[in-house]
Amino acid sequence: MLCLDTPMAVLTLSAEPLPQLPLGVQELSRQGRTNTDAEPFIEHFEVDGVAHGLEGDSFFIASKAANFDTLVLNLIAPRLL
């Protein structure tokens, strides 16, 4: 799902306007993943040393799990070292 995050709202982009956009779906998805990976969070916590949680103000915090490899490399693995 592609979303457009504006200061006033988060909008879901349907398939209809995609052909008119200057970037293709693959590039839009790549940029979306990059932006989601960079989304700040307030707290990273562990539950019983097994599960990890993130807390933040952004609508997109839960979407960080969609790029799980990056999440593990940047957030969880450094805590294990």
- Separation between Cα atoms, residue 66 and residue 37, nearest integer Å: 10
Record the tokens describing residue 44, joined without a space: 């990273």
In this predicted model, which residue has the larger pLDDT, 31 or 80? 31
- Separation between Cα atoms, residue 39 and residue 35, nearest integer Å: 6
pLDDT at 80 over 80: no
* pLDDT reported for residue 69: 86
Of residues 47, 59, 61, 62, the one with CA closest to residue 6: 59
Q: What percent of the chain has pLDDT over 70?
A: 93
